[in-house]
Amino acid sequence: MNILVFSDTHLYLPFDQKKFNFLKKIISESGQVIINGDFFDGYMNKFDEFCKSSWNKLFPLLKDRKTVYIYGNHDQKKFIDKRVNLFSEIREERYRIKINKKNYIFEHGHKTRPAHDIMFTNINWQIKHIGMILVHFIRNFLVNTFGNLTILLLFKPRNKISKKMIDKFYKPQENEVYFIGHNHFGEIDLKNHFVSTGAILHGFAQYLTINSTSGKITLHEEWYK
């Protein structure tokens, strides 16, 4: 059985049919799902709007695969109500599984690389909402204009920061691997006990599959336009 791991889909309105089709496909092909944070974007739309939108057609698929849901900085626990049960079986800030004598530890990553939205708590939701609209617009333009180069230049350096922070604060044991979302750039670096789950955003997807028997981790990359 393959475990699908993805993060940073930042689902918001207006509804994106192409992204929906892509997510439906990879979820349907998996045996279990781990969402490593920022599933929806709580700064773009309220959770009520998200739950009532066409994105809710993914909920039965996710529930059927006993989805583990890790809270991120854009979908913090305080943004969400009990309807999270409609698409997840387990909800945690951090989740751990053991496969083939290795401990795989999942957390979104905003605790290892601080997020501006959490740091600046004095800024109200409306201002953050406007800011995120601009951020998504600019990033979408850059990715569609310059392709993978934008992702490489904007997001890859974030992984270097997270690796240092994990090493400093968590001091990983030899049999531990930390799976981090948040950085929007997928990478497998087992030498440093580090895996970044990438993002599914702006027409470009990076996500992981883990073989539930061998523990082999595979990074997938593709455009879904």
- The pLDDT of residue 127 is 87
Could you say which DSSP state residue 15 is in?
A: P
Nearest of 68, 37, 50 to residue 184 by alpha carbon: 37
Tell if the pTM clears 0.75, that is, is over it: yes
Show contacts of 124-130: CB within 8 Å, 24+ apart: 125/43, 128/43, 129/43, 129/44
Residue 107, H or E segment: strand 102-107
Looking at the DSSP bridge assignments, the partners of residue 38 are none
- The pLDDT of residue 111 is 87
Tokens 């059985």 found at: 1
- The pLDDT of residue 213 is 96
- The pLDDT of residue 200 is 98
CA distance linking residue 70 with residue 47, whole number of Å: 16
Helix crossing, 148-169 with 125-146: angle to 10°?
Answer: 120
- The pLDDT of residue 114 is 84
Nearest of 80, 102, 101 to residue 93 by alpha carbon: 80
Tokens matching residue 204: 């470009």
Domains and CATH numbers, the chain: 2-223 (3.60.21.10)
Residues of the chain with pLDDT under 70: 119-120
Percent of the chain with pLDDT over 90: 86
Looking at the DSSP bridge assignments, the partners of residue 106 are 95, 179
Query: Which whole-number Å values give the CA distances from 213 to 36, 55, 123, 178, in the listed order?
Result: 21, 31, 46, 18
Per-residue pLDDT tens digits for 134-164: 999 999 999 989 988 889 999 999 999 999 9
CA distance linking residue 21 with residue 51, whole number of Å: 18
